[in-house]
Amino acid sequence: MSKRLPRRGATLAKAIIEEYQPKSVEDMQNALKEIFGPMFEAMLNGEMENHLGYMSNERSEKDTANRRNGYTPKVLKTSAGEVPISVPRDRDGSFTPQIVPKRQTDVSSIEEKSSRCMPEE
């Protein structure tokens, strides 16, 4: 019989617990809030790179005149509470995020969908 490999989620959960050492449910919620922000920001930055067609700080010639133009603050409502993030902007205003659409702040449906995709043990 083959040895069961640990799931990435279990490995990640263990790393979070080791890093934050939560003593209560509230401590765990605070840890998750700290993780959700950078996670959503990384996904939004990836969407912006895809939208513009080049990576951030790329020095080569660009195919478009559109450029990054800073960030807009946004507060997301998650199952762990409110999470402040920075949403990237572009100069001509054509960037429309898919992961967190404009004027949407409640991302609990995203959390629900992703939890349904996880295999049960």
Can you give the pLDDT at residue 4?
A: 65
Q: What is the mean pLDDT of residues 49-73?
A: 86
% residues pLDDT > 70 (the chain)? 86
Can you give the pLDDT at residue 17?
A: 92
Q: Which residue has the tokens 């979070």?
A: 16
Please work out, in degrees rounded to the nearest 5, the angle formed at the alpha carbon of residue 9 by the alpha carbons of 8 and 11.
65
pLDDT tens per residue across span 21-57: 999 999 988 998 899 999 999 999 999 999 998 888 7
Alpha helices in 1-121 (DSSP H): 8-20, 25-52, 108-117
Specify whether the CB–CB gap between 80 and 103 falls below 8 A.
Answer: no
For residue 87, report the phi and psi dihedrals to the nearest 5 degrees: -100, 125
